[in-house]
């Protein structure tokens, strides 16, 4: 059977993703023997580092797990500490928290679509090469990304390691005047955001493989609150997530992976759109009506289109709040601490993020654990790559490698995040439960 | 097209917050930088990678593994100037938090340390290579970064 090839693919330092990862694929006799996505980010041991630290300071510390989605870690940890201490935040705090996550989604999705994915569509290596040929497009991308960044600065103080969001409140509240101006600026950038919906709708590579999609469902396409639901049609309470997730240790990677009810699954924008697109903002539904019929989908590249639609949704939600909410100065006071256990669950840009914490009677962290979106997608990514390679064996190696990188990029993986987990049990060379 | 500053943007153990901030600064500086900067190495922007004859290397993150140690020395050799970007590169922290763990916690992580070639201690850049400028902050201080970049452009005669 000489026509069945043996191939060894080895991609070092996958480009245009967040963080460092390498990939090894082994093909023997035309069959994929193994796919190893090796996350090479050095572990920084935050789950150990925050032990015995004050729980009220912990959200700011764990924010440093990841630059690009720092606001997701900050918000999720704030929710977990509030849950442990029994704190009920004000209506204004909840509104500001939604705005903070809207800002994160706009900025982070746009970084992925514009800086990482757009070069694949235009067959160039970087957006720098688009500056002369497609200046309007670069200007549109910068405008949308900049709008997310400015919204983050206004409501959270900065869009990376934001200083205002705290356990139980915000250190600073925008004025109504600032909020109304920001709504105006978002409205201005919205046109450009819709352009990106069309671009990613038209340029849609196809790679389909059936999987299970998991996301929070709350009937409003909010990024926190509600229940965890699967595309297979069942829901679980947030506090029970641990009973349904199984940790799988990858001996070759500095990260870990998860299965849900014993099977691989996908989290992120595509999962949210597949499960919840009926709950999008009414303006988003009106102006994106031409793409919504494409969901649900098993095509992973639809994740890019899902992100583009979410950008519009986040702008529409934020514009509503910024125009109509009556923001009032609210003095922040540090909440009293006590012993307790808490859980935080949010939809981060790349999917569901979980925090579990245990606080002692002095308010110090006894234990913290987190489940990261990219770790949940890990097995799904590897199985997609295996299927892709088997379907493309007749193509030249450079074509296969370029498609693998593009497929990995469609997941928008975040390697800085992925290395954070608590227990490590390395059992020989075979993956084992941790 | 005038002369450009040949730059590398590289990251080691960190959360890449300053890389993100750098991309956000591009919202305002994109068209200026595309004419003045020639990216020889910048994984977050491009696949193209040529580590030689670099004017200025911007290095984010601390040195945590033997591989980091080897790579950062290669970057130093290939670069005329090195700028340490952000808290982890300048001070080691918070990436260096394992340096101060108690013995029980150190024991807990020892298998990872051994298995993935981590160094005994996480180090700031200046303990491993010569650093010419520092941009402190977690994330880096934007104003200081822009000042350092301006100084580098001037130093290499880029108009």
Interface with chain A: mutation pick from B6, B8, B16, highest number of A CBs within 10 Å: B16
Do A16 and B47 lie within an 8 Å CB cutoff? yes
Residue B139, preceding peptide bond in cis (omega within 30° of 0): yes
Residue A306: CA count within 13 A, CB half-sphere: 29
ipTM of the complex: 0.95
Question: What's the CATH class of domain A46-418?
Answer: mainly alpha
| CATH at B73 | 3.40.50.700
Tens-place pLDDT, residues B5-33? 999 999 999 999 999 999 999 999 999 99
Pairing of strands A212-217, A227-230: antiparallel
Banded model confidence at residue A434, pLDDT cuts 50, 70, 90: very low
Distance (Å) from the C-alpha of residue A210 to the closest C-alpha of chain B? 30
Token pair belonging to A16: 């245009």
- Within 10 angstroms of residue B6's Cβ, the number of other Cβ atoms is 22
- The two structure tokens encoding residue B42: 């910048």
- Is residue A111 within 8 A of residue A68, CB to CB? The reply is yes
Instruction: Give the list of residues 6+ apart from residue A293 with CB closer than 8 angstroms, or none.
Output: none
pLDDT tens for residues A244-268? Answer: 777 776 666 766 677 777 788 899 9
Asked if residue A412 lies in contact with residue A386, where contact means CB atoms within 8 angstroms, the answer is no
Six-digit token pair at B93? 């922290």
What is the mean predicted confidence (pLDDT) over A364-374?
A: 92
Q: How many domains does chain B have?
A: 1
Dihedral, CA atoms, A128, A131, A136, A140, nearest 10 degrees? Answer: 20
- Summarised one tens digit per residue, pLDDT across range B59-115 is 999 999 999 999 999 999 999 999 999 999 999 999 999 999 999 999 989 988 988
Residues B50-72: b if buried by 16+ CB within 10 A, e if exposed: ebeebbbbbbbbbbbbebbbebb
Kindly indicate the confidence band of residue A425, based on its pLDDT and cuts at 50, 70 and 90. Answer: very low
A272: tokens are 């949210």
Its domain, for residue B149, covers: 5-155
- pLDDT (average), residues A37-52: 88
B94 CB neighbours in chain A (<8 A) are: 44, 46, 49, 61, 64
CB contact under 8 A, A160 and B21: yes
**Which residues pair with residue B49 across a beta bridge?**
B41
Q: Which residues of A touch B (CB under 8 A)?
A: 13, 15-16, 18-20, 41-46, 48-49, 51, 61, 64-68, 70, 107, 111, 115, 119, 125-128, 131, 138, 142, 145-146, 149, 158-161, 254, 405, 416, 424, 426
DSSP codes of every residue in A380-401:
HHHHHHHHHHHHTTTS-HHHHH
Residue-range domain boundaries for chain A: 7-39, 46-418
With contact defined as beta carbons under 8 Å apart, do B122 and B95 qualify?
Answer: yes
């Amino acid at each position: 059977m000489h026509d069945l090839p043996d191939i060894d693919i080895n991609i070092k330092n996958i480009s245009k993703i967040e963080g460092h990862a390498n990939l090894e694929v082994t093909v023997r006799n035309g069959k994929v023997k193994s796919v190893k996505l090796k996350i090479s980010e050095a572990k920084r041991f935050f789950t150990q580092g925050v032990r015995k630290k004050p729980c009220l300071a912990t959200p700011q510390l764990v924010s440093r797990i990841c630059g690009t989605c720092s606001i997701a870690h900050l918000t999720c940890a704030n929710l977990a500490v509030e849950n442990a201490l029994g704190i009920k935040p004000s209506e204004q705090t909840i509104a500001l928290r939604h705005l903070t996550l809207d800002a994160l989604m706009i900025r982070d999705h746009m970084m992925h679509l514009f800086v990482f994915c757009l070069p694949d569509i235009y067959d160039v290596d970087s957006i720098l090469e688009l500056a002369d040929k497609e200046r309007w497009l670069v200007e549109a991308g910068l405008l949308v990304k900049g709008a997310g960044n400015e919204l983050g600065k206004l409501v959270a103080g900065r869009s990376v390691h934001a200083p205002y969001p705290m356990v139980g409140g915000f250190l600073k509240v925008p004025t109504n005047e600032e909020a109304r101006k920001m709504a105006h600026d978002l409205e201005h950038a919205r046109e450009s955001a819709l352009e990106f919906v069309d671009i990613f709708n038209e340029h849609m590579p196809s790679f389909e493989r059936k999987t299970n999609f998991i996301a929070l469902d709350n009937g409003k396409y909010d990024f926190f609150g509600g229940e965890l639901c699967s595309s297979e049609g069942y829901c679980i309470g947030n506090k029970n997530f641990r009973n349904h997730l199984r940790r799988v240790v990858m001996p070759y990677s500095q990260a870990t992976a998860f299965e849900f009810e014993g099977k691989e699954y996908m989290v992120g924008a595509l999962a949210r759109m597949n499960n919840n697109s009926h709950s999008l903002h009414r303006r988003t539904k009106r102006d994106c009506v031409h793409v919504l019929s494409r969901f649900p989908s098993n095509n992973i590249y639809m994740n890019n289109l899902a992100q583009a639609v979410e950008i519009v949704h986040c702008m529409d939600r934020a514009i509503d709040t910024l125009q109509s909410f009556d923001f009032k100065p609210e003095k922040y006071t540090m909440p009293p601490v006590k012993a307790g256990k808490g859980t935080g669950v949010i939809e981060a840009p790349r999917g569901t993020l979980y925090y579990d914490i245990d606080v002692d009677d002095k308010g110090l962290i006894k234990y913290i654990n987190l489940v990261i979106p990219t770790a949940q997608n890990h097995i799904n990514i590897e199985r997609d790559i295996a299927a892709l390679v088997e379907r493309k064996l007749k193509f030249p190696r450079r074509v296969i490698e370029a498609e693998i990188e593009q497929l990995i990029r469609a997941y928008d993986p975040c390697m800085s995040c992925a290395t954070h987990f608590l227990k490590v049990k390395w059992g020989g060379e075979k993956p084992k439960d941790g | 097209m005038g002369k450009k500053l040949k730059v590398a943007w590289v990251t080691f153990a960190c959360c890449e917050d300053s890389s993100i901030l750098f991309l956000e600064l591009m919202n305002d500086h994109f068209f200026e930088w595309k004419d003045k900067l020639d990216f020889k190495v910048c994984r977050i922007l491009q696949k193209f990678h040529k580590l030689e004859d670099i004017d200025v290397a911007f290095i984010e993150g601390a040195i945590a593994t033997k591989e980091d140690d080897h790579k950062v020395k290669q970057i130093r050799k290939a670069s005329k100037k090195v700028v340490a970007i952000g808290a982890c590169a300048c001070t080691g922290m918070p990436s260096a938090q394992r340096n101060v763990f108690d013995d029980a916690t150190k024991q807990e992580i020892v298998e990872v340390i051994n298995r993935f070639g981590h160094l005994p201690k996480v180090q700031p850049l200046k303990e491993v290579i010569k650093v010419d400028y520092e941009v402190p902050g977690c994330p880096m201080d934007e104003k200081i970064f822009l000042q350092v970049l301006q100084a580098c452009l001037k130093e290499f005669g880029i108009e």
